[in-house]
């Protein structure tokens, strides 16, 4: 069974600085998709960024980018120029031939 591990329960970052959230996963599948979701205090689940495993190029969405290392099964999220509105729980998720599998999340605090 696929598993997703987020080893950092909590992280903090100064406003305008950069932070990296870690995610590793375990799978025997070769085709899959990886996602980062943001869950602010309102509890919405907001898709931040998505990566197809067959693409070598790392996905980027404005201030959000990923470092996808397929051989290492690592999928970290980098947030640049952190803003107060980035404070939230961040969940890494995997999807192959199974429904979405989520990690336990990392709570990100942004310090003004």
Partner 1 sequence: NAGVMQNPRHLVRRRGQEARLRCSPMKGHSHVYWYRQLPEEGLKFMVYLQKENIIDESGMPKERFSAEFPKEGPSILRIQQVVRGDSAAYFCASSPAVEASNQPQHFGDGTRLSIL
- Kindly indicate which of the ranges 17-25, 31-39, 60-68, 71-79 contains the residues binding partner 1, using the contact rule CB under 8 A: 31-39
Rounded (5°) CA angle 78-81-87: 75
Q: Which of 8, 11, 102, 109 binds partner 1 (CB under 8 A)?
A: 102
- Cβ proximity to partner 1: between 73 and 95 the closer is 95
Q: Which of 42, 56, 85, 112 binds partner 1 (CB under 8 A)?
A: 42
- Kindly indicate which of the ranges 20-28, 68-76, 80-88, 93-101 contains the residues binding partner 1, using the contact rule CB under 8 A: 93-101
Q: Which residues bind partner 1 (CB under 8 A)?
A: 4, 33, 35, 37, 42-47, 50, 52, 91, 95, 97-105
């Amino acid at each position: 069974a696929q598993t997703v591990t987020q080893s950092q329960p909590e992280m903090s970052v100064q406003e305008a600085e950069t932070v990296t959230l870690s995610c590793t996963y375990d799978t025997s599948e070769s085709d899959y998709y990886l996602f980062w979701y943001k869950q602010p205090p309102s509890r919405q689940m907001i898709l931040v960024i998505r990566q197809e495993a067959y693409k070598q190029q790392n996905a980027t969405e404005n201030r959000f980018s990923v470092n996808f290392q397929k051989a290492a099964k690592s999928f970290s999220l980098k947030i640049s120029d952190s803003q107060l509105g980035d404070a939230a729980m961040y969940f890494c998720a995997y999807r192959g031939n199974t429904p979405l599998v989520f990690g336990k999340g990392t709570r990100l605090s942004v310090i003004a």
